[in-house]
Amino acid sequence: MSACATSPAALRPVLAERGQREVFCGLTGIVWLHRRIQDAFFLVVGSRTCAHLLQSAAGVMIFAEPRFATAIIEERDLAGRADLDDELDRVATRLIARRPDIRLLFLVGSCPSEVIRLDLGRAAARLEERFERSPRVLAYSGSGIGTTFTEGEDACLSALVPTLAPTLAPAGREAPARLLVVGALADVVEDQFRRLFAALGIGPVDFLPARRADAMPPIGSGTRYVLAQPFLGETATALERRGAVRIAAPCPLGAEGTRLWFESIAAAFGIDPALADGVLSPPARRAAAALAAPRARLAGRRVFLFPDSQLEIPLARFLARECGMILTEVGTPFLNRRLMAPDLALLPAGAQLAEGQDVERQLDRCRAARPDLVVCGLGLANPLEAEGFATKWSIELVFSPIQGFEQAADLAALFARPLARRALLEV
């Protein structure tokens, strides 16, 4: 355990709540995962509700023909008039016949499929055999009873880990070190990171997930992995089972967060600190300069974060330390103290942490705190605006490229925009 995990900041009291949770389920991750893995198809095995959620969350049909769909369980499936395995095979076969370009098919479990104990892992193995591994077929669960929002990505990536090829170690020698960056990132962010790793002399560098199914990275005892997203606890465990070793680092959000993230990686790879400083200082300075404008609008303002994506703690750290905001409450759907330790250690004292949710009571606390800005989900934003609060929809923080030096000011601007807009409007 790192020193951070036992620091007083990490042991701060956390308000643990159980009640109505106003959060998405893990199926929502499909909306960005299918853009990231460009030859994968996500077939949800669920209900009409699952299909409705996906199209509501995706903002209704942005893409020509989406690479996700729902196999809707019907009454005759439940009543035993149809064999569920046969039905699933029929649907998947039709789908693959229609989309021969698909290289990786995910069967995605849902609340109903879990409650009726439909074994999608077995179904995936059966289908993969039928398709002669073209495409490959994997299963994971994005159900609301098992996953909250970004945990869907965690479940997807941890399903990928056992399929990764082993790294080949030269006989009698230790496997050479390779870096694995874990978590779906926008292409522009990945490309920036690759350039910085090259400048630091760190390589080879792989990203999980890769953009294509047949380009997934190898893994082995030489693999040092670093999380680019904080919500990947199951994936981290799966990687460690394959012998990979974690590099602890704060999330690469903001100029400071990104710099600390790169420095942690550079240290793990034994890079000369002077070289690291030379590579990281120019983009860090540029990011700090770009942050000045949004910071002017955010500094001294009070912010309240509802739980949503598990990005809340790193975001709060960024808003407090780099934007000068005052934290009132920082909610998170789930707090993984081990993975979150580096960010927790940097969080200023005084912020109330809350894990889980009772949305009505949290709304009461929010109203009492009278924050200048509320970060919350789409279901709460307009009602809070109508009550007079400025809000920032949190889902945008998951869909937008916000990591890295060049995006630090963009990230701050996402929070500054609602305040700027309020200053602008005369309505």
Partner 1 sequence: MQLTLWSYEGPPHIGAMRVATAMHGVHYVLHAPQGDTYADLLFTMIERRDHRPPVTYTTFQARDLGGDTAELFRAAVRDAYDRFRPAAMIVGASCTAELIQDDPGGLAAGLGLPIPVIPVELPAYQRKENWGAAETFYQLVRAATAREAPPARAAQPFCVNILGPTALGFRHRDDVRDIAALLARLGIAVNVIAPLGASFADLARLPAAHANLVLYPETAGTAAAYLARRFGQKTISTVPIGLGATRDFVAEIADLAQVPPPPDLAEACRLGWYSRSVDSTYLTGKRVFIFGDATHAIALARVATAEIGFSLVGLGTYSREFAAPVRAAAQSHGIEALITDDYLAVEAAIAAAQPELVLGTQMERHIAKRLGIPCAVISAPAHVQDFPARHAPFAGFEGANVLFDTLIHPLMMGLEEHLLGMFRDDFEFNDTAAPSHLGPHATTPPEPATVATAASAPVWRDDAEAELRKIPFFVRGKARRNTELFARERGLNPITIETIYDAKAHFSA
- Contact (Cβ atoms closer than 8 angstroms) between residue 264 and residue 335: no
Which residues lie below 8 Å from residue 107, measured CB to CB, with a gap of 6+? 43, 45, 88, 92, 120, 123, 124, 127, 137, 138, 139
User: Smaller CB distance to partner 1: residue 357 or 407?
Assistant: 357
CA quadruple 150, 13, 378, 106: dihedral, nearest 10: 10
Contacts of 127 (CB under 8 A, 6+ apart): 88, 89, 92, 105, 107, 137
| 61 class by beta-carbon count within 10 Å (0-12 exposed, 13-18 middle, 19+ buried) | exposed
Q: How far is the CB of 183 from partner 1 (least distance, A)?
A: 21
- In the complex, least distance from residue 418 CB atom to partner 1, rounded to whole angstroms: 15
Q: Nearest approach, Cβ of 381 to partner 1 (angstroms)?
A: 7
HSE-CB of 207 using CA atoms within 13 angstroms: 21
Question: How far, in whole angstroms, is CA 178 from its chain's centroid?
Answer: 22
Residue 131 class from Cβ within 10 Å (0-12 exposed, 13-18 middle, 19+ buried)? middle
Give the number of residues written for the chain.
Answer: 427
For partner 1, the closer CB: 37 or 381: 381
Euclidean distance between CA atoms 215 and 238, whole angstroms: 19
Nearer to partner 1, 274 or 427 (CB): 427
CB of residue 74 vs partner 1: minimum separation in angstroms? 5
Nearer to partner 1, 91 or 413 (CB): 91
CA 177 to chain centre: 25
Q: Which residues are at the interface with partner 1 (CB under 8 A)?
A: 19-28, 45, 47-49, 51-53, 55-57, 60-61, 64-66, 69-75, 77-78, 82, 84, 87-88, 90-91, 94-95, 111-112, 114-116, 143-146, 148, 360, 377-383, 385-386
Shortest separation between residue 295's beta carbon and partner 1, angstroms: 29
3-state SS, residue 191: helix
CB of 146 to partner 1, least distance (A): 5
Question: Least separation, in Å, of the C-beta of 388 and partner 1?
Answer: 11
Question: Of 281 and 382, which has the nearer Cβ to partner 1?
Answer: 382
Nearer to partner 1 by Cβ, of 96 and 320: the residue is 96
Q: For residues 137 and 268, which CB has a smaller minimum distance to partner 1 in the complex? A: 137
Cα 185-337-239 angle, rounded to 5 deg: 50
